[in-house]
Amino acid sequence: MQPKYSIVVPTYNEEANISELYRRVSAVMDRLDGVAELVLVDDGSRDRTLPLIRQLREQDARVCYLSFARNFGHQIAVTAGLNVSRGQVVVTMDADLQDPPELILEMVREWQAGYQVVYARRTQRKQERWLKRTTAYGFYRLLRTLADVEIPTDTGDFCLMDRSVVELLNHMPERNRYIRGLRAWVGFRQTAVQFERDPRFAGAVKYTFRKSLALAINGLVSFSIVPLRLSTYMGLIAAAIALLMMFLVLYWRVFEPKSPLTGFATIALAIFFLGAVQLICIGILGEYIGRIYEEVRGRPLYTLAETAGLEPANDIGRGRSG
Ligand code: UDP
Ligand code: MG
């Protein structure tokens, strides 16, 4: 039977959260006004996450899952879940219960009121480290100034999307997926519901600092070409300074031959500074070229080792299915 609601949850080493997640999500699923499916995406976990998911599937046929052949990262896991989900309405949320499943009911009411995208905006981050809070705050504001679409601040991937939006996302060929950006890019009627972000139910954070940084750079590069212009601006500024210096040096040579501003230190400084500027600009170029290379290579986004209860569109590397 075609489900009306799909709840997509990426999981990576979440053995301590799976049963509590199921308990709270299934309670919400019971209260929805239609058939619901829970799509669990195992992102190559190395702990007992997958066996626990298999058990859930045996208990409850509304649970379906796919399991990656290795860890591909959160955004890809969400993408895979969107690819296979069948509901008219699809909700994506984290496995660690930082996103309260009960909020889904409120999101569904907004959908019924005619919105195609309902994203959850966090008003407070409970017990998240100071560093994470400030960097997240700064990043979202930087992204807002640079990006060419308006990506709502302080929203994550916890959201509800209508089938029409999910189909559009599924047909976007890009590999570097910054889902909250793509979701804003498609347009349609979008609205927010507020919530307080709870602390993690159990287990450690899976988004290491490196992964968060990679996601942030990905967001900036995927949704803005302003950094590419940076080298042009810096080049212009450097040229202006050089011109000014030329006249100054000429003046000193003629009128003040004993000027202190000629010498090794000045030259060394100027060389180091411009060297740094050039390297940074090449690095920025590299970010864009690397992404072009990834897109052109055209490898599949993920490889599947196991699925149950789903007909995946992409069945590369599919081992067994049940
Ligand atoms: N996650 C994933 N693959 C990864 C890292 C994380 O599927 O490589 C999942 C994780 O299981 C969780 C969600 O992404 O359901 C968010 O991760 P986490 O709670 O560590 O990050 P944060 O709360 O900082 O966003
Ligand atoms: Mg979390």
DSSP line for 35-54: -EEEEEEE-S-SSSHHHHHH
What pLDDT was estimated at residue 205?
Answer: 79
Cα 290 off chain centre by: 18
With contact defined as beta carbons under 8 Å apart, do 223 and 145 qualify? no
Q: What pairing do the DSSP bridges indicate for beta strands 5-11 and 89-92?
A: parallel
With contact defined as beta carbons under 8 Å apart, do 178 and 296 qualify? no
Residue nearest to atom 16 of ligand 1 (CA): 94
**Residue 245: is its pLDDT beyond 90?**
no
- Between vectors from CA 210 to CA 208 and to CA 213, what angle results, nearest 5°? 110
**Residue 110: is its pLDDT beyond 70?**
yes
For ligand 1, is residue 301 a contact (CB within 6 Å)? no
Residue 30 one-letter amino acid: D
Which residue among 40, 43, 68, 74 is best mutated to probe the pocket of ligand 1, counting the most ligand atoms within 8 A of its Cβ? Answer: 74
Which of residues 197 and 40 earns the better pLDDT score? Answer: 40
**Residue 55: is its pLDDT beyond 80?**
yes
Q: How far apart are CA 8 and CA 90, in angstroms?
A: 7
Q: How far is the CA of 93 from the centre of ligand 2 (A)?
A: 10
Q: How far is the CA of 76 from the centre of ligand 2 (A)?
A: 16
pLDDT bin (cut points 50, 70, 90) of residue 316 is very low
For ligand 1, is residue 15 a contact (CB within 6 Å)? no
Residues 303-313, mean pLDDT to the nearest whole number = 80
Per-residue pLDDT of 249-303, as tens digits, reads 788 778 877 766 667 777 887 888 888 888 888 888 888 998 888 888 888 889 9
User: What residues are paired with 162 via a beta bridge?
Assistant: 89
Residues 6-12, mean pLDDT to the nearest whole number = 95
With contact defined as beta carbons under 8 Å apart, do 317 and 304 qualify? yes
Per-residue pLDDT of 122-169, as tens digits, reads 886 666 677 777 888 888 888 888 887 888 877 888 999 999 999 999
Other Cβ atoms closer than 10 A to 274: 15
Q: How far is the CA of 177 from the centre of ligand 1 (A)?
A: 15
Residue nearest to atom 24 of ligand 1 (CA): 207
Q: Which residues have a Cβ under 8 Å from the Cβ of 264 and sit 6 or more positions away?
A: none
Q: How far is the CA of 192 from the centre of ligand 2 (A)?
A: 20
What pLDDT was estimated at residue 126?
Answer: 60
Q: How far is the CA of 133 from the centre of ligand 2 (A)?
A: 13
Residue 156 backbone dihedrals phi, psi, to 5 degrees = -115, -145
pLDDT bin (cut points 50, 70, 90) of residue 42 is very high
Residue 267 backbone dihedrals phi, psi, to 5 degrees = -65, -45
